[in-house]
Chains A and B, each alone.
Chain A
Amino acid sequence: MTNLSPAIQLDVRDLEVHYDGIRALHGVSFSVPKGEIVTLIGANGAGKTSILRAISGLTPYTGFIAFENQDLRRVPAHQIVGRGITHVPEGRGIFGNLTVQENLQLATWQRSDKGEINADYDRVFTLFPRLRERRDQPGGTLSGGEQQMLAVGRALMSRGRLLLLDEPSMGLAPRLVREIFRIIVDINQTGVTVLLVEQNANMALHIAARAYVLETGAITLAGTGRELLGNPRVKEAYLGA
């Protein structure tokens, strides 16, 4: 029985992931409504990254994942992006030996609409003028902030309807963190659903409509972003209050 309501875009049920016999996730269930920003917060090693890797097919799992009412369980990783899910991985996953332009182009592998692709390059380069200046430079020569912009730009090139973001603030100066979060909100306002994994719980809860707290492989708290910001346990464990 799946019983999906049309507003639910991503449905995750009883998700379990094992690494070398060690259980990283024990039966995680949650859903992401279309058009919202949903965040998963939790400490290092709580299993946040495993959830994203399972959704995008990088990690084998048991349980059930459906996107827009379609079962993703047998879909190979490289076809997931074609279904409309874009994953910006932990550490950004920039190909350092490819130029900025090539990094963006690679993300259009499953697309064949050439004119639209060119329009998307313009959109990315307008959003991130730094990338336009550096389009022929290898990705490995960019600064951390520029690499994060390239990772987000690349996600836009694949035109997903659901964006999975793994620690977009990692290693960035506070000013850049604010800019990245502003861009995430902007992207969401164009109709893209966002599932955001963050250690920077404060920023994440401020922009998220819905939030889940993950502890040692299981969801222990759920609520709106505002509710969790006010929750004493969350305050103590994740907001440094």
Chain B
Amino acid sequence: MSEGIVYWLQQMLNALQLGSIYALIALGYTMVYGILTMINFAHGDVFMVGAFFCFLAATYLGLPFVPTLLLTMIGAALVGALLERLAYKPLRNAPRVSAIITALGLGLFLENFTLALAPYPKHIPPLLENVTWDMGGVSLSSLQVIIIFLSLGLMFLLDYIVHRTPVGMAMRAISWDKTFVPLMGVPVDLIISVTFAIGAGLAGAAGTMYALAYPVIDPYMGIMVGWKAFISAVVGGIGNIRGAMIGAFILGGVEIMVTAFFPSTYRDFVAFTLLLLLIVVRPYGILGKPRTQKV
């Protein structure tokens, strides 16, 4: 293969890995927005908490990869559902700004609570034997393959849940208008908790994968990644699940391409500028539609 093609394939692979992680987190933002039209700004910190659960499971419990991943997802899901019950549910009929401030406060709480327990960055032990294959000049690591396929698997699973199961149907009904959903016999509060739990569980999985790819973790790791996942969700069309995935892969791609051409310090600046321009052209995002509700 020519050097140019090898280079681009390599970059695309990297973009796919980064995009997968953004996508898993972006899904949580978009699902919560979809049913409550609320941005859960603490969601990036749930991703961070997931990475710390991964650390606890891998070091203190000495668990291998699969149980660590499952435990992390369950732990993060519980944290997500708990945040909703304790902090957001009491504010469901309060002004929108109260929920936003609460979300920001929860994020700070999670960061500083973790900081109190873990004042120094933590190292994640290598849970997986990392093999690197050379495919005609493109290097592919087993970790990359696992991250990409596991993320895609989780995304397909979520898509299936939302579009093909009764719980997913209830979520979509709530996202249309939750006023009359109880008349169908659907327990709305339970479905909202489940939605938060699923979104947080996916962020937990992202935390584990991120920690495996970049094995030094700290309590502030969720801020930038969280913002980027949020922007992915907005670019894709917030509230739209497939849009969040598309937005995340676009953002991953843009970031990798920028670092291919410019100094790496330009990455976030150029990436965010491009995304702002996209929002100017398509204010509702790629797959988003203006909310039109029939009376």
Asked if A107 and B180 make an inter-chain contact with CB atoms under 8 angstroms apart, the answer reads no
Contact A95 B172 (CB under 8 A): yes
* Known interface pairs A109-B186, A110-B185, A154-B184; 18 further A-B residue pairs with C-beta atoms within 8 A, sorted by A's residue number: A56-B182, A58-B180, A58-B183, A76-B187, A81-B183, A81-B185, A82-B185, A95-B173, A95-B177, A96-B293, A96-B294, A97-B172, A97-B175, A98-B172, A102-B172, A106-B166, A106-B184, A109-B166
Show the binding face of B for A, using Cβ within 8 Å. 166, 169-170, 172-173, 175-177, 179-188, 293-295
By beta carbon, the residue of chain A nearest B190 is A78
Find the A residue at minimum CB distance from B293. A96
Query: Whole-angstrom distance between the alpha carbons of A109 and B181 in the complex?
Result: 11
Please classify the interface of chain B as helix (H, G, I), strand (E, B), loop, or mixed, using the class held by over half of its residues.
helix
Number of interface residues of A (CB under 8 A): 29
Report B178 CB to chain A, min CB distance, Å: 10
Chain A contacts for B188, CB-based, 8 A: 78
Please state if B176 and A78 are interface contacts (CB–CB under 8 Å).
no
Q: Is the CB of B169 within 8 A of A106?
A: yes
**A199 interface residue per 8 A CB criterion:** no
Q: Are A93's CB and B183's CB within 8 A?
A: yes
Set of chain B residues within 8 Å of A94, measured between Cβ atoms = 294
Closest 3 CB pairs of A and B: A93-B180, A77-B182, A110-B185
Q: How many A-B residue pairs have CB under 8 A?
A: 73
Q: Which residues of B contact A105 (CB under 8 A)?
A: 166, 169
A56, A80, A93, most chain B CB atoms within 10 A:
A93
Please tell me if the beta carbons of A97 and B176 are within 8 angstroms of each other in the complex. Answer: yes
30 cross-chain CB contacts under 8 A: A56-B182, A57-B182, A58-B180, A76-B187, A77-B182, A77-B183, A78-B181, A78-B184, A78-B187, A80-B182, A86-B183, A89-B183, A91-B295, A93-B177, A93-B180, A95-B173, A95-B176, A95-B177, A105-B166, A106-B169, A106-B173, A106-B186, A107-B184, A107-B185, A109-B166, A109-B184, A109-B185, A109-B186, A154-B184, A158-B185
